[in-house]
């Protein structure tokens, strides 16, 4: 029996995508090439690894037993490439980070350039709203969430608490009824998430300030809500770190705030890669040095 690692790589991608077409798209080959490589692997092992169905490819019992061996091989190959092919101890390769859209776009995106400045060969992919990506399937290297995972084979690290509150522009407030108490919010246009598109109810901030209320402007992303607030369209709930640096924003009922925690998750095998470890250390250090952005708010914000 002679096994080809590249055939095993095709096997893993097919496991994760569950169709020849999707695997081919990820591997940048035709679906027939994926099918051919799978046939070669099955011939080498003298066993069937997938059942072909109208809904896609389903692992046979033999295929299920092969998965952990193939994943260990994948980890070894990744480590080998990283250790042997690096130049001058520089990090290289691609790191894919998933994070909530507000944190990813407004905090991570501006600061990750410094990491790449230190490691020019490192490529970064940032995925906001990463609900369709899996650590277990190696679709993502580092995942940041607002909820601590309670299952799965992942390594979890608490990053930081963060606060969020009500904000509006001075222009909107000057043209609207005065707000002294939470009940006064009922006479105002509110900005929030689209409930059925909210992938994590821990992100439904507005219920803690305006329980039972209905927002008149709704967006599937926190960034969209922020820009609606900046456009004088109403009052919304955003994290403090997104309000900093916006001189037209004014805290509304600043004594009231809510608090969440950012959690970092990583696959135990991926954590062994130097580029993953270095990226985690970078994110942790950036958050520790920016603690006031996450926990404090002062007016004016500019």
Q: Kindly report the CA angle at 256 between 250 and 259, in degrees rounded to 5?
A: 105
Beta strand 249-252 pairing with 235-239: unpaired
Which fold would CATH assign to domain 5-85? Arc Repressor Mutant, subunit A (1.10.10)
Q: Which residues of 204-224 are buried (b: 16+ CB within 10 A; e: fewer)?
A: ebbeebbeeeebebbbebbbb
> How far is 241 from 256, CA to CA, in rounded Å?
16
Beta bridge partners of 51: 58
Average pLDDT, the chain: 86
For position 88, what pLDDT does the model report? 44
Every domain of the chain with CATH number 3.40.190.290 lies at 92-302
Read off the pLDDT of residues 248-302 as tens digits, 9 standing for 90 and up.
Answer: 999 999 999 999 999 999 988 777 788 888 999 999 999 999 999 999 987 666 5
What long-range pairs does 86-90 form, CB within 8 A, spacing at least 24? 87/121, 90/119, 90/120, 90/121, 90/122
Residue 290 DSSP SS3: coil
Q: Is the pLDDT of residue 223 over 70?
A: yes
Per the model's pLDDT, the better-predicted residue between 286 and 139 turns out to be 286
Read off the pLDDT of residues 65-95 as tens digits, 9 standing for 90 and up.
Answer: 888 888 888 878 777 766 665 544 567 888 9
Q: Which residues of 158-182 are buried (b: 16+ CB within 10 A; e: fewer)?
A: ebbebebbbbbbeebbeebeebeee
What is the 3-class SS of 134-201, one letter each residue?
A: CCCCCCCCEEEECCCCCCCCCEEEEEEEEEEEEEEEHHHHHCCCCCCCHHHHHHCCEEEECHHHCCCH
**Region 11-29: what's the mean pLDDT?**
86
**Region 55-66: what's the mean pLDDT?**
86
Read off the pLDDT of residues 183-198 as tens digits, 9 standing for 90 and up.
Answer: 888 889 999 988 887 7
**Region 210-222: what's the mean pLDDT?**
87
Check if the beta carbon of residue 162 is closer than 8 Å to that of residue 239: yes
For position 1, what pLDDT does the model report? 59
Q: Which residues contact 113 (CB under 8 A, 6 or more apart)?
A: none
Every domain of the chain with CATH number 1.10.10.10 lies at 5-85
Q: Is the pLDDT of residue 6 over 90?
A: no
Global confidence as pTM: 0.72
Read off the pLDDT of residues 85-137 as tens digits, 9 standing for 90 and up.
Answer: 554 456 788 899 999 999 999 999 999 999 999 888 889 999 886 566 677 67
Read off the pLDDT of residues 200-213 as tens digits, 9 standing for 90 and up.
Answer: 677 777 788 888 77
**Region 173-180: what's the mean pLDDT?**
92
Residue 13 DSSP SS3: helix
Select from 3.40.190.290, 3.40.50.2300, 3.90.1200.10, 3.30.360.10 the CATH code of 92-302: 3.40.190.290
For position 131, what pLDDT does the model report? 63
**Region 228-247: what's the mean pLDDT?**
94
Q: Looking at the chain, how many residues does it have? A: 302
Q: Is the pLDDT of residue 49 over 70?
A: yes
């Amino acid at each position: 029996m002679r096994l080809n690692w590249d055939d095993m790589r095709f096997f893993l991608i097919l496991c994760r995508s569950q169709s020849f077409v999707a695997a081919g798209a990820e591997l940048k080959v035709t679906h027939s090439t994926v099918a051919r490589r799978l046939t070669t692997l099955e011939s080498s092992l003298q066993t069937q690894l997938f059942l072909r169905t109208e809904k896609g490819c389903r692992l046979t019992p033999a295929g299920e037993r092969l998965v952990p061996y193939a994943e260990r091989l994948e980890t070894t190959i990744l480590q080998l490439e990283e250790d042997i092919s690096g130049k001058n101890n520089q990090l290289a390769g691609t790191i894919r980070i998933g994070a909530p859209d507000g944190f990813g776009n407004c905090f991570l995106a501006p600061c990750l350039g410094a990491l790449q400045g230190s490691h020019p060969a490192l490529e970064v992919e940032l995925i906001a709203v990463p609900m369709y990506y899996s650590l277990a399937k190696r679709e993502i290297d580092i995942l940041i969430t607002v909820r601590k995972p309670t299952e799965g084979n992942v390594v979890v690290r608490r990053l930081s608490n963060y606060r969020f509150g009500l904000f509006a522009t001075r222009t909107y407030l000057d043209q609207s009824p005065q707000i002294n108490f939470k009940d006064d919010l009922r006479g105002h246009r509110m900005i929030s998430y689209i409930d059925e598109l909210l992938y994590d109810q821990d992100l439904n901030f507005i219920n803690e300030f305006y329980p039972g209320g209905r927002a008149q402007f709704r967006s599937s992303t926190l960034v969209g809500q922020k820009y609606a607030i900046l456009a004088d369209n109403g009052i919304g709930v955003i994290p403090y770190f997104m309000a900093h640096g916006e001189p037209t924003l004014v805290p509304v009922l600043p004594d009231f705030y809510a608090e969440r925690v950012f959690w970092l998750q990583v696959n135990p095998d991926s954590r062994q890669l130097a580029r993953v470890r270095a990226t985690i250390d970078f994110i942790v250090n950036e958050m520790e040095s920016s603690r006031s952005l996450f926990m404090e708010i002062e007016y004016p914000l500019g």
